[in-house]
């Protein structure tokens, strides 16, 4: 591209210089020719004036006159009488009749005679200029002849000067053309090279806007495009990473669900087979086996229910969002859990295990405004947190505290149970994560309760925090903001 532009510029410059040179030479030739004629005309007029003071009868005097004038003006001088004969000439003593010569004829007519031709007398080509003058009533022609080679020499010198100047101008033009072509094409080359890198997938480069006009706008637009591609690449990489994490999460979820389903199903299948083989005829054994089958079936039911709840919350396809009565929900949860605790206490007393003296306290604030949420979601949060606390509290109490402050609904569940080690806290809300896997399964846990709680809290733009001291108990704190709108919840 750079060479093509240089060659194009040079071709245009050379043509322009050649055209200018030819025009100057032509104009110079015409100008010099006209100037010579004007000078010769003036000289002829002066010579004609001087000739009037001479004695035309004295040949010697005329010869000295033309010779002196010839030397003075560096031209051939001739004096011709009215019949066309040369009576005096600075270069030739004999000459033929000149009355038919063009310049003589024109002079005889009272004009300034002009002509260019070769002389038959001297054999030299001349520029002739002639003028008529009258002396004592007799007409004479004064003629000046300038050798054509002298004028041609002037034209040649002019042509040499023009060519020299043209060559110098051409050299300067070539340097300027190279400079400007390089200045114009350098940003284009830079943009082209970087565009190839971009096409190859390199989005880390930076294109500095250079040049002027459209080139500047092009470089700036390309730089903005690279920046946009860079941001899009980062976004895609982030999305791909999220997709990989989601895929890993899905795989773990499927694996965990399969495992959690397989364990109770295997247990149920084993006890059913044992009963079929004859254990059903032993009342004590058959009832114990049926109780275990019932426990495992209930565990399966809770697991399926929790999985469906988690899926419904993640897909944001919960029930209709209305303003639920927080105080009523807390009362319902208290009633449900109190009944469950009575049943559990009877079983613990019967078996002689610890935990029968655990108490549940509910501290409900006054004038709590209705909260914009699905009532089932609020119940699920409270039941999961309080039920977990009751399961892992062998002595002492579990306290549920609910109040509104600073336009935020505060929920706090505090227990005096076994507590959670600090290394487990960061993963506490992961699906199927259990601090004590054996104890959790004995308690009938599915490993999804806290994950469901976290999903519901996130759904309503809330925050959940947990503090725990191993051996002293655990406290969960949830903060639900009231300033959310229905649209944001649906989103």
Between 330 and 92, the higher pLDDT residue: 330
Between 322 and 105, the higher pLDDT residue: 105
Q: What is the C-alpha to C-alpha distance for residues 207 and 180, in angstroms, rounded to an integer?
A: 22
pLDDT at 56: 63
User: Contacts by 339-346 with C-beta closer than 8 Å and gap 24+?
Assistant: 340/387, 340/390, 341/390, 344/390
Pairing outcome for strands 113-118 and 86-89? unpaired
pLDDT at 382 over 50: yes
Tell me the whole-structure pTM to 2 decimals: 0.47
E runs forming strands in 98-156 = 113-118, 125-135, 138-147
Please state which CATH number belongs to domain 319-481: 3.30.565.10
Residue range 126-160, pLDDT digits in tens? 888 898 888 878 888 888 888 877 767 777 777 78
DSSP states of 160-214 as a string?
HHHHHHHHHHHHHHHHHHHHHHHHHHHHHHHHHHHHHHHHTT---------SSHH
pLDDT at 441: 46
pLDDT at 14 over 60: yes
Q: Is 470 helix (H, G, I), strand (E, B) or coil?
A: coil
Least confident range of 31-35, 362-366, 465-469: 31-35
Mean pLDDT of the 21-43 span: 74
**φ, ψ (nearest 5 deg) of residue 411:** -125, 125
Q: Is 371 helix (H, G, I), strand (E, B) or coil?
A: strand
121: confidence class by pLDDT, cuts 50, 70, 90: low
Mean pLDDT of the 377-401 span: 88
Same fold, 1-155 and 319-481: no
pLDDT at 440: 45
- Start-to-end CA span in the chain (Å): 56
pLDDT at 352: 61
CA–CA distances in Å: residue 340 to residues 59, 274, 287, 333, 344:
163, 31, 22, 11, 6
pLDDT at 479 over 90: yes
Mean pLDDT of the 84-110 span: 83
Q: What is the C-alpha to C-alpha distance for residues 186 and 205, in angstroms, rounded to an integer?
A: 18
Residue range 282-341, pLDDT digits in tens? 777 777 777 777 766 776 676 676 666 666 666 654 455 578 899 999 999 999 888 888
pLDDT at 486: 42
> Could you give the percent of the chain with pLDDT greater than 90?
10
**Domains in the chain: boundaries:** 1-155, 203-315, 319-481
Mean pLDDT of the 83-95 span: 80
Q: What is the mean pLDDT of the chain?
A: 78
Least confident range of 47-56, 70-79, 133-142, 429-438: 429-438
Please state which CATH number belongs to domain 1-155: 3.30.450.20
Element containing residue 81 per DSSP (H, E): strand 76-81
pLDDT at 387 over 80: yes
CA–CA distances in Å: residue 424 to residues 388, 429, 469:
16, 10, 12
Q: What is the C-alpha to C-alpha distance for residues 362 and 398, in angstroms, rounded to an integer?
A: 9
Do 151 and 32 contact (CB within 8 A), yes or no? yes
438: confidence class by pLDDT, cuts 50, 70, 90: very low
Structure tokens that stand for 90 in this block: 């600075």
Residue range 245-262, pLDDT digits in tens? 777 766 666 666 665 666
Domain 203-315 architecture:
Orthogonal Bundle (1.10)
Report the DSSP beta bridge partners of residue 323.
Answer: 372
**φ, ψ (nearest 5 deg) of residue 143:** -125, 135
């Amino acid at each position: 591209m750079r060479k093509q532009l240089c060659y194009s510029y040079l071709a245009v410059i050379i043509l322009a210089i050649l055209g200018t040179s030819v025009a100057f030479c032509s104009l110079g030739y015409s100008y010099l020719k006209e100037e010579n004629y004007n000078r010769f005309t003036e000289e002829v007029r002066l010579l004609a004036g001087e000739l009037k003071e001479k004695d035309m009868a004295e040949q010697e005097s005329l010869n000295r006159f033309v010779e002196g004038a010839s030397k003075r003006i560096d031209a051939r001088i001739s004096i011709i009488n009215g019949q066309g004969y040369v009576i005096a000439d600075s270069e030739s003593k004999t000459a033929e009749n000149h009355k038919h010569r063009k310049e003589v004829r024109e002079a005889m007519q009272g004009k300034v005679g002009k002509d260019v031709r070769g002389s038959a007398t001297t054999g030299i080509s001349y520029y002739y200029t002639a003028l008529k003058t009258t002396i004592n009533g007799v007409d004479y022609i004064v003629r000046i002849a300038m050798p054509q080679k002298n004028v041609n020499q002037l034209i040649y010198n002019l042509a040499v000067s023009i060519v020299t100047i043209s060559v110098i101008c051409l050299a300067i033009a070539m340097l300027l053309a190279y400079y400007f072509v390089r200045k114009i094409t350098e940003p284009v080359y830079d943009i082209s090279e970087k565009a190839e890198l971009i096409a190859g997938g390199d989005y880390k480069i930076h294109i500095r806007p250079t040049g002027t006009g459209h080139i500047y706008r092009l470089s700036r637009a390309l730089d903005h495009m690279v920046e946009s591609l860079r941001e899009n690449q980062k976004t895609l990489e982030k999305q791909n990473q999220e997709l990989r994490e989601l895929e890993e999460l899905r795989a773990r979820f499927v694996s965990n669900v399969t495992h959690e389903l397989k364990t109770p199903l295997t247990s149920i299948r084993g006890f059913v087979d044992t009963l079929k083989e004859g254990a059903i005829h032993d009342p004590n054994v058959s009832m114990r086996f049926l109780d275990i089958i019932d426990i495992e079936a209930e565990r399966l039911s809770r697991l399926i229910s929790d999985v469906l709840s988690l899926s419904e919350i993640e897909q944001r396809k919960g029930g209709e969002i209305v303003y639920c009565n927080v105080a009523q929900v807390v009362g319902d949860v208290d009633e449900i859990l109190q009944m469950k605790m009575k049943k559990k206490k009877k079983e613990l007393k019967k078996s002689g295990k610890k935990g029968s003296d655990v108490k549940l306290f509910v501290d409900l604030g006054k004038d709590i405004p209705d909260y914009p949420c699905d009532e089932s979601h609020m119940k699920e949060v409270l039941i999961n947190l309080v039920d977990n606390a009751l399961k892992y509290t062998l002595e002492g109490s579990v306290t549920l505290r609910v109040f509104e402050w600073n336009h935020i609904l505060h929920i706090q569940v505090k227990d005096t149970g076994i507590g959670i080690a600090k290394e487990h806290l960061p993963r506490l809300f992961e699906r199927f994560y259990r601090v004590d896997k054996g104890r959790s399964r004995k308690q009938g846990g599915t490993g999804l309760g806290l994950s469901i709680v976290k999903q519901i809290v996130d759904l309503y733009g809330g925050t959940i925090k947990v503090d725990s001291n191993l051996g002293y108990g655990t406290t969960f704190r949830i903060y639900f903001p009231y300033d959310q709108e229905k649209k944001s919840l649906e989103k």
